[in-house]
Structure 1
C-alpha cells in the first residue's frame, strides 16, 4: 500500500513525488530580534520564494519541500499553502519547539505530557484557520553539547508526539553540536532512530560523530549547503564523501536551510537552488552517479518522512573514493 505524506494542501502519495526533495527549508519564518532584524521571510517575500521554487521545479524537477518552521519561529501556515500552490511544489509543514532562546511562554512550567498533548492535538486537528496539517515534527532544537532542562522537555515531548502520531522528527543542533545527546533523549522516549534526522551536521567537522549517528540508524542532515559564512562547501563535500565512503549513503539528507531574506536570489543570496546548481555538480565531479544522487535527494527524504526503517545501501564508486583520498592528502599538505 502506497504511503501518504501530509502536505499543506492535503494528502499526497509518495509515488507522486517523482523529483528531488529539499529536506530542510524555511519559506515563511520570523526569527528577527533587536540584535538581528534580517532573520525573516515575511509576506513581502512570499512571491519571491514561490518564484524560486517554481523555477527549480521547471529546471530540476523539484517536487517537495520539507518546511521546518515550528512553534515560536513565526510560522505562517496560510503562506505555506499559497507558496505551494503558486510554485506547483508540495510542502510538508512542521511543528514542535525550536531551541530555548525561541521558546514561547507556553513551554515554561509545562510538563512533558502537556507539551506532547499540545503537539498531538495540532497534528490531528491542524493549524490556523484552514486547519493545515503538520506532516513532520521539527525543527526541534537544542543549543550546545547537552540540551537544557527546557530543551530536554520539548525534545522528549516531541518524541512522544512522534510515537503517537507516526510522524518523523527533524532536529536543530546548533552548529552541529549535541547531535548524539539529542539522539539519546529521543530514543529514550521510544522513538526509532529511522524516524530521526539530526540537523546541521555539515557544520560539525567530526566524521566520527557522523558515522556514529548513521550507524545508529538516524539520518544525518547536511542541510546548510551554501552557507559559506558558517562552513565552506569544500569542507561540506569532504565530510559528505567521508560518510559515503563509510557506507552510509542511505542516511544522508541534503538541503540549504534558507532562513532569512538575504539568502534569496533576488537579494543577492545563493537561494534554494544552490544545492542543485553548485553542490551536486561538485559531488558528481567527485564520482557520484545518477543512482546515488537520486538516493540522496529523493529516496532518503521520502523514507525519512514515512518512517521507513530499511537500509538502501549504495556502493561508493571508485572516483568518490579517489576524491576522498585526494581531499585527505591536500588537507595534510596544507597543514604541513
Structure 2
C-alpha cells in the first residue's frame, strides 16, 4: 500500500480525501474517429461547464476526487485536467495506458509487451511530456469481446507489468461489460494482485454470476455508467448492484457515471457528473443501503483501489 495519490495538481495523502469520489470519468476527451463531434469534451468549449458542475458537486455532496480514465489515443490533456481541478477545487487523478484496439496509438501494433511496459513506467515516473504531471492510475486499459485481441492482450500485460513496477492499480474498459473475466486472468497471470484491478462497465452486463465471480476473486467491479439509460436502465443497475451487496461484496464495488459526450453535461440538458449523487444513491438508500455502505462504495473503496490497500487498511 502507498499512502500518497498522484493527482494532476501534485501529491495528495489519501487521508485528505474526506468525501466521495467518481471513479471513472472523462473531463477532457476526443474520441472523434468518424466525425462524431458528440464524443468530445473540449477544454475550451466545455471546460467552464465541467468545472462548474464539479464545483457544485463539491459544495452539495463534498465531491473530493475524480479519476479521469482518459488515456493514450483518447485525447488526453493533463494541463487541462490540472486547470479544471484548480478551478473546481476537486482533486483529479489522470491515467496512462491504452484504450481498446480501434483507439490504439501506432506503437501498440508492433512493440513488445516489455517495450510497452517500459513506456508506461517512464510516463508514470517522469510525467506526461514536460508537464511534470504524473498519472496516478493505469486505465482505461481496454478490450472488446469476450477475449482480448492480440494487441489488447499486449497492452493489458504491459499495464500489469507497469503496475507491478510502480505500485499503481489498473482500471479496464470491458466493452459493454464483456470480457472482464479474461482481462482479470491476463492481469493476474502477470502477477498483479486482484485487489489492484477494477473491471470496467460491469453494470452493462446483466450477469450477476460474473460480477460475483470477479468480486470473489478480489477484483473491483465497476458500476461506472450510471445514468446512461440508452445502454442500460438504472433499474437494472440497481438490481445488479443490490445483488452484489447482498452477496457480501459491497467492498468490491466502484461507482461512477463515465461522462464521455458533451450532451451528457448538465449545461446541455444531460444527466451530468452528479447523476450518481442526485438520483442513483437515493434509490440505493431507499432500497435499504445505509450511509456506511454508501461511504464504503464511494470513498473507501476508491481509496483502497488507488493505493493498493487491502480492505482492512482504509
Which TM-score bucket, shorter chain as reference? over 0.9
Partner residue of 1:130? 131
Residues 28, 13 of structure 1: alpha-carbon distance in 2 compared, 3 angstrom cutoff = same
Equivalent-residue separation in structure 2 for 1:261 and 1:245 (angstroms): 35
Partner residue of 1:16? 16
Q: Is the 8 A contact 1:99 1:142 kept in 2?
A: yes
Q: Runs of at least 4 residues of structure 1 off by over 6 A? A: none
Deviations along 1:100-158, one digit per CA (max 9) or x if unpaired, are 00001111110000000000000000003322100000000001000000000000000
The Cα of 1:309 is off from its aligned counterpart by: 2.2
Equivalent-residue separation in structure 1 for 2:6 and 2:293 (angstroms): 26
Partner residue of 1:285? 286
Partner residue of 1:180? 181
Equivalent-residue separation in structure 2 for 1:32 and 1:268 (angstroms): 21
Equivalent-residue separation in structure 1 for 2:165 and 2:173 (angstroms): 21
Partner residue of 2:67? 66
Partner residue of 1:321? none
Question: Normalized against structure 1, the TM-score is what?
Answer: 0.91
Partner residue of 2:100? 99
Equivalent-residue separation in structure 2 for 1:209 and 1:2 (angstroms): 30
The Cα of 1:35 is off from its aligned counterpart by: 5.2
Q: Is the 8 A contact 1:77 1:128 kept in 2?
A: no
Q: Aligned pair 1:303/2:304, yes or no?
A: yes
Partner residue of 2:27? 27
How do residues 1-336 of structure 1 correspond to structure 2 at under 5 angstroms?
Answer: 3-34=3-34, 36-43=36-43, 44-310=45-311
Comparing 178-187 with 303-312, which one deviates more in the overlay?
303-312
* Larger Rg over CA atoms: 1
Matched residue of 1:38: which SS? helix
Equivalent-residue separation in structure 1 for 2:113 and 2:174 (angstroms): 20
Partner residue of 1:317? none
Q: Is the 8 A contact 1:2 1:13 kept in 2?
A: no
The Cα of 1:2 is off from its aligned counterpart by: 7.7
The Cα of 1:310 is off from its aligned counterpart by: 2.7
Question: Normalized against structure 2, the TM-score is what?
Answer: 0.98
- Ranges in structure 2 where 5+ consecutive residues have no aligned partner: none
Deviations along 1:7-60, one digit per CA (max 9) or x if unpaired, are 001000111000000010000010012252210101211111111000000000
Q: How many corresponding residue pairs?
A: 313
Matched residue of 2:70: which SS? coil
- Ranges in structure 1 where 5+ consecutive residues have no aligned partner: 313-336
The CA RMSD measured in Å over matched residues stands at 1.3
Matched residue of 1:108: which SS? helix
Equivalent-residue separation in structure 2 for 1:2 and 1:118 (angstroms): 22
Deviations along 1:56-105, one digit per CA (max 9) or x if unpaired, are 00000000000100001000001000000000000000000000000011
Q: Is the 8 A contact 2:195 2:308 kept in 1?
A: yes
Equivalent-residue separation in structure 2 for 1:297 and 1:280 (angstroms): 10
